[in-house]
Amino acid sequence: MCVTLSLHYGVGADWEQGEGCFALEPVLEVTDLVKRFERKGRADVVAVDGVSFCVDAGECVGLVGGSGSGKSTIAQMVTRLVEPTSGKVVLCGRDVTHVRGAELRAITKDVQMVFQNPVSSFDPRRTLGEGVAESLRNLGMDKPAARARACELLEQCGLSASMADRYPREVSGGQCQRAAIARALAPDALLVVCDEATSALDVTVQAQIVRLLERIQRERGLAMLFICHDLALVQGFCNRVLVMSEGRIVEEGAASEVLARPHHPYTRRLLKS
């Protein structure tokens, strides 16, 4: 069940008709989402099996589960990197499940992803500044203005403006992930999907990145889908949590409640492991 907050989140949601996006509806609503992968000569693999949930403005929802439970496949369907087999993905009240072409490019303005491996998520032939500025250029901003805005965003994410001239291979994993967060914020996204965004970092850098995400979410009122295998991190950072097993959500609720007093046997096994 989704309880919407009394926040307006119209910035960045001016799709073709220029319509705003308001808190009368969730930022993200997923209904009966299914992803089936066909295998020649073998049975299909059902990675996601009838999943429904929503994320409100200003809310961070954690998505947890073991390897192969379907977490990353959900992230890819929500961000439209993978086509769902069936079900529905609604972003700010608009069904975006099967949009393509110009419509698909339009929604990338409002939903962005921060990947597990920050270095490989950037084009190695382009500087971090160019990577952050790319979406701004795609939105029609001229090169000098996009460059200046990219430097501002890098600074907001704890990097110096000089990092705009560095290549992904020339910086640390933590620095590169900060740049990836700046890139996700560039188009004024309403929803940020973090797919194991801290798992490739050491513990100290991981804590720094989480504090950065907390600050940015608080300041911008972002909706966030936070996919993570670290249950302690999810308990401290997320408002609600969804527990996945074999492509289905087996338990959900307030993160503090579910992870402190789990009801489902699978959630209890996850906590013990």
Q: Which of 109, 155, 161 is nearest to 136 (CA)?
A: 109
Per-residue pLDDT, 244: 95
Spell out the SS3 assignment of the chain.
Answer: CCCCCCCECCCCCCCCCCCCCECCCCCEEEEEEEEEEEECCEEEEEEEEEEEEEECCCCEEEEEECCCCCHHHHHHHHCCCCCCCEEEEEECCEECCCCCHHHHHHHCCCEEEECCCCCCCCCCCCCHHHHHHHHHHHCCCCHHHHHHHHHHHHHHCCCCHHHHHCCHHHCCHHHHHHHHHHHHHCCCCCEEEEECCCCCCCHHHHHHHHHHHHHHHHHHCCEEEEECCCHHHHHHHCCEEEEEECCEEEEEEEHHHHHHCCCCHHHHHHHHC
Mean pLDDT of 105-123: 88
Q: Which pTM value belongs to this model?
A: 0.86
User: Which of 11-25, 78-92, 218-232 shows the lowest per-residue confidence on average (mean pLDDT)?
Assistant: 11-25
Q: Return the domain boundaries, the chain.
A: 122-186
Which token pair is 126? Answer: 């382009």
pLDDT (tens digit, 9 = 90+) per residue, 239-251? 999 999 999 999 9
Q: Please state, in angstroms and as integers, the Cα–Cα distance from residue 110 to each residue in 78, 145, 193, 233, following that order.
A: 12, 20, 11, 26
With both helix axes pointing from N to C terminus, report the angle between 143-156 and 173-185 in degrees, rounded to the nearest 10. Answer: 120
Q: What is the pLDDT of residue 220?
A: 87
Q: How far is CA 199 from the centre of its chain?
A: 14
Burial of 14 (0-12, 13-18, 19+ CB in 10 A): middle
Say if residues 177 and 168 touch (Cβ distance below 8 Å): no
Q: What is the pLDDT of residues 119-173, one digit of tens each?
A: 999 999 999 999 999 989 988 899 999 999 999 999 999 999 999 999 999 999 9
Tens digits of per-residue pLDDT, 29-64? 999 999 999 888 888 899 999 999 999 999 999 999
